[in-house]
Amino acid sequence: MATRSNIGILNSDGTVDYIYCHFDGYPEHNGKILSEHYTTEEKVRELIGLGDLSMLGENIGEKQSFEVRVKGCCLAYGRDRGESGTIARKVSYADYTKEYFEEYVYLFTPDKGWEVRAYGTNYWADLSNALSQLEI
């Protein structure tokens, strides 16, 4: 079963560019990878540029076979499986924070870093604080 997540970046105009990630969206996995490997605006924008993901990896990686994943690399629906309609979406910050169906939502703010929201909550938590509380 998948633990779905959205991964977004706050733009200077108040909009959010975001992608969907199907697997391993919980903080102990995707949250940890984001906080350790996607720490700059440039790197986060490169990740968002991949479009929707099956799996998040420590590296963007190169085009790969969808059936034989390259360990540690992102597996993208568009780049790796040739699907259409997988590009990042742009919404207002208010729309990004509305009710959603993914179990976790991540937001990178260039001046603050990563925050996370769990399904059913109405507040953002600093991702590094959330990870330290999990002691991973």
pLDDT in tens, 43-59: 999 999 999 999 999 99
Could you give the dihedral angle defined by the CA atoms of residues 16, 46, 68 and 6, in that order, rounded to the nearest 10 degrees? -10
What is the pLDDT confidence band of residue 107, given thresholds at 50, 70 and 90?
A: very high
Alpha helices in 1-136 (DSSP H): 32-37, 41-49, 77-81, 93-96, 127-134
What is the pLDDT confidence band of residue 121, given thresholds at 50, 70 and 90?
A: confident
Rounded Cα distance, 58 and 13, in Å = 29
Q: Which residues of 4-43 are buried (b: 16+ CB within 10 A; e: fewer)?
A: bbbbbbbeeeebbbbbbbbbbbbbebbbbbbbeebeeeee
pLDDT at 18: 97
What is the pLDDT confidence band of residue 134, given thresholds at 50, 70 and 90?
A: confident
Most trustworthy range by pLDDT among 45-54, 66-75, 117-126, 127-136: 45-54
Q: What value does the mean pLDDT take over residues 28-57? A: 97
